[in-house]
């Protein structure tokens, strides 16, 4: 399994790391049990464009690189354009991902989708991203292991 130079470049120098304290939308996806978790915060301007974006990710090299690149891709996009980013586009933008790492680009696009819908919900508008599994914000690492179906979660 080899990472492309671009994956390594984003992993080593991730863009837009952090949290926007006055975010308009927050998306949190993944699960520490599966080894990766991502949080995206966005600011949206009055024309429904993503004005600013930050991410935090717990995960492998691919998880961090896909998070980083998706924030670069989404910045300046309309909300619709942002939720339309596909996992393949993320992978392509990074010069490809190893097959076992494709789920990382799903994490990144899902994080963005949840953030966009979160903004729309807060503004009392219709959501547009479709069904995405959001992270449980109250994740308790010590909760009963039997509570979650492993295969399904990861």
Partner 1 sequence: MYDGYFDYAATTPVDERVLEVMMPFFSERFGNANSLYATGRDAYRGLEDARERVASLIGATTPNEIVFTGCGTESDNAALLGIMSRYAPDGGGHLIVSSYEHHAVIKPAEWLAKHGHDVTYVPPRTDGFIHAEDVRAAMRPNTRLVSVMHANNEIGTVNDIAAIAAVAHEGGALMHTDACQSLGKVPFDVDALSVDAASFSAHKIYGPKGFGALYLRRGTRFESQLKGGGQESKKRSGTQNVAGAQGFAKALELIVSEMPAETQRLAILRDRLILGVTARLENTEPSVSGGERLPGIAPLLIKGVEGESMLLQLDNQGFSVSTGSACSSGSLEPSHVLLAIGCPPEIAHGSLRLSLGRFTTEADVDRFLEIFPPIVERLRAMSPVYTRMFGTT
Residues that bind partner 1 (CB under 8 A): 1, 8, 11-12, 14, 17, 19, 28, 32-39, 56-64, 98, 100-101, 103, 139, 141-142, 145, 150, 154
Tell me how far, at minimum, the Cβ of 37 lies from partner 1, in Å.
5
The side-by-side arrangement of strands in the sheet containing 36-44 is: 25-31, 36-44, 50-58
Nearer to partner 1, 37 or 73 (CB): 37
Nearer to partner 1, 43 or 148 (CB): 148
Helix (H) or strand (E) holding 149, with range, is none
Tell me how far, at minimum, the Cβ of 148 lies from partner 1, in Å.
10
Nearer to partner 1, 124 or 141 (CB): 141
Q: Let me know if 129 is exposed, middle or buried by CB neighbors in 10 A (0-12, 13-18, 19+).
A: buried
Q: Let me know if 38 is exposed, middle or buried by CB neighbors in 10 A (0-12, 13-18, 19+).
A: buried
Q: Catalytic one among 7, 63, 65, 104?
A: 104
Q: Catalytic one among 34, 60, 106, 128?
A: 34
Tell me how far, at minimum, the Cβ of 106 lies from partner 1, in Å.
12
Nearer to partner 1, 99 or 130 (CB): 99
Alpha-carbon span 113 to 98, nearest angstrom? 23
The verdict on whether 34 is a catalytic residue reads yes
Alpha-carbon span 30 to 43, nearest angstrom? 22
Count of C-beta atoms within a 10 Å radius of residue 54: 18
The verdict on whether 154 is a catalytic residue reads no
Tell me how far, at minimum, the Cβ of 13 lies from partner 1, in Å.
11
Catalytic residues: 34, 104
């Amino acid at each position: 399994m080899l990472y492309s130079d671009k994956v390594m470049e984003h992993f080593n120098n991730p863009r837009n790391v952090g949290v926007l304290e006055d975010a308009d939308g927050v998306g949190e996806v993944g699960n520490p049990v599966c080894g990766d978790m991502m949080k995206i915060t966005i600011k949206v301007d009055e024309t429904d464009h993503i004005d600013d974006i930050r991410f935090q990710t717990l995960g492998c090299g691919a998880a961090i690189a896909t998070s980083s690149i998706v924030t670069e891709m989404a910045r300046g996009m309309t909300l619709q354009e942002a939720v339309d980013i596909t996992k393949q586009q993320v992978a392509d933008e990074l010069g490809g991902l190893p097959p076992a790492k494709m789920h990382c680009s799903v994490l990144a696009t899902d994080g963005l989708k949840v953030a966009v819908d979160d903004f729309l919900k807060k503004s009392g508008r219709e959501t547009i991203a479709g069904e995405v599994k959001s992270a449980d914000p109250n994740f308790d690492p010590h909760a009963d292991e039997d509570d979650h179906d492993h295969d399904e979660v990861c």
